[in-house]
Chain A
């Protein structure tokens, strides 16, 4: 029981850090939450339900994820905003010594410079994590968005 609660707490902290670092626009530190061998994907529920593989964003390795962040910093132009994640309770779906799977729902609000907020995206995180010397790290983060109709554009990660 103790182990389960400890695990739950640790994965929850991982997800909390994940959301807080995006919301604080500290994406370079956010990258550190990912294992060197990791995958990040944002996919619309519409495609998942039809067994269609197309994502909105797909980083098959950590370098692609680093490139995304670098491109946001140096190349892309997007709506100036801040993010605010609201997370649901976490659910551990399977666990072993060397791996853990979990899921949680989220609502992501975006606010512009004038303080106008809108619900930008809702959906679910499907998390696979593995232990490391620094604690749990993400092996795979699959973000299934119900909000398949992206409002304006999708630049910063969800």
Chain B
């Protein structure tokens, strides 16, 4: 499967530790095509949805894995299923609604009907009219189900995989990320709503961004200015053994001594004396056993679980082309939240998402890079904060080592050997 393709042979990763990333990997349409097969349909688990979104039999949501349209639903027996939202007949979208409750899914084009397991159960005029027309007698509906994904759920978080030989979900997530999902989903959740963002850049610039703790305290000035997190805060990055996932975190209540040399030096990040008139959205109401008030856990390849103070959300990246992707964020709280806590979460949501006081810059940063790397595709991005070489847990925030972890795993799945002679 991982034979070197012509597209990949165009680009050279000169460093075995992925401390150099060729720009062309972010712009090449053929690389993008390969990613759909080798990354999103490869040996990975993609985040699909939350069980809280489809609590009842027949509940469904239509989503995308990479750029493939997918239906995720709950069957009559309560089991979860996911399949490609494309009719086995002529390739039409089957379920056109974004969400709902259905007995099955019927394609509007020729009324082929599928059950909640994705099996083809009915074809109008299959035998024609009075024995004339219709399908041949040897047509076997069992061979024309919707293409199914493997599905597993952990504490109500649903993942799906196109690869039959993928390892079990918990093994794929690895202990730190199983623990983080159990931490975030320790109690039943309720969905508070959705935010969507279209970014006109390559999806990997975004997956790099969420693996780059170093930018948080430099680009996102709101959080620096108002003390949510600075690069001098207690924090770090936690990785799995392969380094493909990353959790950047900072802890509340343990400020590192700020010396006169804060590290910010001549940056434009000067004015830290201004105050919010209503700082209520900065208030963190401690709700986990640990001190971590900010955790950004990114699971390879398509999602990030964010906790920014008391605002909780999962972001799903849906690719659209080499030059565009969508981030769909599902914000949630807990069923046991009282009205005051729900209100607090809704106010804190001002910090996150496309209009987020903390996060709005990410869309701009991705597009700034994407625009500038249109040429010189063999030139390289430099990824050396936190040191070169081995990819491992980081004990402060001045690091971008997790980006290299992503790329090492990406290269493995794509069939690229970083550091090999061109």
Q: Which A residues are closer than 8 A to B by beta carbons?
A: 42, 44, 46-47, 50, 52-61, 63-64, 66-68, 70-71, 74-79, 148-155
Does B197 have its Cβ within 8 Å of any Cβ on chain A?
A: yes
Q: How far is the CA of A92 from the CA of B72 in the complex (A)?
A: 43
Q: Pull 7 A–B residue pairs with CB atoms less than 8 Å apart, ordered by A.
A: A58-B347, A75-B226, A76-B221, A76-B222, A148-B195, A151-B200, A155-B360
* 10 smallest beta-carbon distances between A and B, as pairs: A54-B193, A52-B193, A154-B355, A153-B363, A63-B277, A150-B354, A63-B278, A47-B193, A149-B196, A75-B221
Residues in chain A near residue B353, CB distance under 8 A: 56
Residues in chain B near residue A46, CB distance under 8 A: 98, 194, 196
Does B208 have its Cβ within 8 Å of any Cβ on chain A?
A: no
Give residues of chain B (337-368) contacting chain A, Cβ–Cβ below 8 Å: 342, 346-347, 349-350, 353-355, 357, 360-364, 367
Asked if A76 and B219 make an inter-chain contact with CB atoms under 8 angstroms apart, the answer reads no
Asked if A154 and B354 make an inter-chain contact with CB atoms under 8 angstroms apart, the answer reads yes
Does B191 have its Cβ within 8 Å of any Cβ on chain A?
A: yes
Asked if B274 and A74 make an inter-chain contact with CB atoms under 8 angstroms apart, the answer reads yes
Does B129 have its Cβ within 8 Å of any Cβ on chain A?
A: no
Residues 178-220 of B, flagged 1 when their CB comes within 8 A of A and 0 if not, give 0000000000000111111111100000000000000000010
Not counting A50-B193, A74-B271, a sample of 12 additional A-B residue pairs whose C-beta atoms are within 8 angstroms of each other reads A53-B192, A53-B346, A54-B331, A54-B346, A57-B355, A61-B278, A67-B277, A68-B357, A76-B222, A151-B198, A152-B198, A153-B363
Contacts A42-B355, A54-B349, A56-B353; A149 near B200 (Cβ below 8 A): no
Q: Which B residues are closer than 8 A to A by beta carbons?
A: 98-99, 191-200, 219, 221-222, 224-226, 271, 274, 276-278, 281, 326, 331, 342, 346-347, 349-350, 353-355, 357, 360-364, 367
Q: How far is the CA of A78 from the CA of B357 in the complex (A)?
A: 11
When C-beta atoms are compared, the residue in chain A nearest to B329 turns out to be A54
Residues in chain A near residue B200, CB distance under 8 A: 151-152
Q: How far is the CA of A61 from the CA of B95 in the complex (A)?
A: 42
When C-beta atoms are compared, the residue in chain B nearest to A79 turns out to be B364
Asked if A77 and B191 make an inter-chain contact with CB atoms under 8 angstroms apart, the answer reads no
Asked if B225 and A74 make an inter-chain contact with CB atoms under 8 angstroms apart, the answer reads yes
Residues in chain B near residue A58, CB distance under 8 A: 346-347, 349-350
Asked if B194 and A44 make an inter-chain contact with CB atoms under 8 angstroms apart, the answer reads yes
Asked if B194 and A148 make an inter-chain contact with CB atoms under 8 angstroms apart, the answer reads yes
Residues in chain B near residue A63, CB distance under 8 A: 277-278
When C-beta atoms are compared, the residue in chain B nearest to A64 turns out to be B278
Asked if A56 and B363 make an inter-chain contact with CB atoms under 8 angstroms apart, the answer reads no
Asked if B361 and A71 make an inter-chain contact with CB atoms under 8 angstroms apart, the answer reads no
Residues in chain A near residue B331, CB distance under 8 A: 54
Residues in chain B near residue A155, CB distance under 8 A: 355, 360
Residues in chain B near residue A78, CB distance under 8 A: 360-361, 364
Asked if B274 and A70 make an inter-chain contact with CB atoms under 8 angstroms apart, the answer reads yes
Residues in chain A near residue B193, CB distance under 8 A: 44, 47, 50, 52-55
Residue from the list A53, A71, A154 in contact with B222, Cβ < 8 A: A71
Q: How far is the CA of A126 from the CA of B360 in the complex (A)?
A: 25
B9 to chain A minimum Cβ distance, whole angstroms, is: 33
Q: How far is the CA of A50 from the CA of B59 in the complex (A)?
A: 14
Q: How far is the CA of A79 from the CA of B199 in the complex (A)?
A: 12
Q: How far is the CA of A50 from the CA of B52 in the complex (A)?
A: 14
A74 to chain B minimum Cβ distance, whole angstroms, is: 6
B176 to chain A minimum Cβ distance, whole angstroms, is: 29
When C-beta atoms are compared, the residue in chain A nearest to B330 turns out to be A54
Residue from the list A57, A77, A152 in contact with B350, Cβ < 8 A: A57
Contacts A58-B350, A63-B278, A76-B221; A52 near B194 (Cβ below 8 A): yes
Asked if B361 and A55 make an inter-chain contact with CB atoms under 8 angstroms apart, the answer reads no
Q: How far is the CA of A67 from the CA of B198 in the complex (A)?
A: 26
A128 to chain B minimum Cβ distance, whole angstroms, is: 19
A123 to chain B minimum Cβ distance, whole angstroms, is: 14
Asked if B197 and A66 make an inter-chain contact with CB atoms under 8 angstroms apart, the answer reads no
Asked if B346 and A77 make an inter-chain contact with CB atoms under 8 angstroms apart, the answer reads no
Q: How far is the CA of A63 from the CA of B278 in the complex (A)?
A: 6
Residue from the list A42, A55, A152 in contact with B364, Cβ < 8 A: A152
Residues in chain A near residue B276, CB distance under 8 A: 67, 70
Residues in chain A near residue B350, CB distance under 8 A: 57-59, 64
Q: How far is the CA of A119 from the CA of B111 in the complex (A)?
A: 37
Q: How far is the CA of A92 from the CA of B216 in the complex (A)?
A: 46
Residues in chain B near residue A44, CB distance under 8 A: 193-196
Q: How far is the CA of A47 from the CA of B367 in the complex (A)?
A: 27
Q: How far is the CA of A52 from the CA of B350 in the complex (A)?
A: 16
Q: How far is the CA of A78 from the CA of B197 in the complex (A)?
A: 14
Residues in chain A near residue B194, CB distance under 8 A: 44, 46-47, 52, 54, 148
Contacts A56-B354, A76-B357, A77-B364; A150 near B196 (Cβ below 8 A): yes
Q: How far is the CA of A155 from the CA of B355 in the complex (A)?
A: 6
Q: How far is the CA of A64 from the CA of B276 in the complex (A)?
A: 8
Asked if B349 and A153 make an inter-chain contact with CB atoms under 8 angstroms apart, the answer reads no
B297 to chain A minimum Cβ distance, whole angstroms, is: 21
B60 to chain A minimum Cβ distance, whole angstroms, is: 14
